[in-house]
Amino acid sequence: MSPVSNILEEIRDSLANLDLEKTIELVNKALNQGVDVMDIIERGLAEGMKLIGEMYERGEYFVADMIVAAEIFNEAMRIVKPMILESKKKFKPLGRVVIGTVYGDIHDIGKNLVATVLEANGFEVIDLGIDVTVEKFVEAVKKHQPDILGMSALLTTTMPHMREVIEALKKEGLREKVKVIVGGAPVTEQFAREIGADGYAENAFKAVEVCKRLINK
């Protein structure tokens, strides 16, 4: 195995083991050795997040572990992001995603995880935060012209705002220009279909699969 492959596997495993100190140390070491920044992200950090996703699916990791993983990933991304910005012209993102938690809902753990994992998989993510009004979602679609709009809700009382956003996009003539994906604990695939969304994901890793599928369409 080459030294590059070896250090990328070490980054992957240290992230999968939720070891912040080791992950940061290895990312800095890889950069000092001249390892390509996109390899660090794709073959190191993203692979680590993928392993975490698999462990989560098997019930070996829980939401608390996912939050820790997202924090470690974000710390590592803070180190490599300046280099990505420098070489941005060379790397075209898979697609642009605008994401936010709907109006009346201040829960952001799930939404933050989705944003993190999407970034790890090569998407450009514009995070509108929490308690996002219908108007703000529509304005963001106009301004950023994303490929995908992602909406999250953790309360059954705030879920209807997802439908309102889709209706507002139709009124503004924007619905055909953007794919809509929804998720959150109370949201179901049936609900997504009923409100006219293009996709539904029950967790961050499924969200990546759905976004990739929508982009390829």
Q: What is the pLDDT of residue 87?
A: 62
Would 3-90 and 96-216 be classified into the same CATH topology?
A: no
Q: What is the pLDDT of residue 90?
A: 62
Helices (H), ranges, the chain: 3-16, 20-32, 37-39, 46-57, 63-86, 109-120, 134-144, 160-171, 189-195, 204-216
Taking only the tens place, the pLDDT of each residue in 39-65 is: 898 889 989 988 998 898 899 999 899
**Burial label, 12 (beta-carbon count in 10 A; 0-12, 13-18, 19+):** buried
Question: pLDDT category, 18, cuts 50, 70, 90?
Answer: very high
Rounded Cα distance, 67 and 190, in Å: 27
Structural domain spans, the chain: 3-90, 96-216
- Residue 164 CA from chain centroid, whole number: 23
CATH architecture of 3-90: Orthogonal Bundle (1.10)
Closest CA to 157 of 105, 194, 199: 105
Q: What is the pLDDT of residue 55?
A: 92
- The CATH class that applies to domain 96-216 reads alpha beta
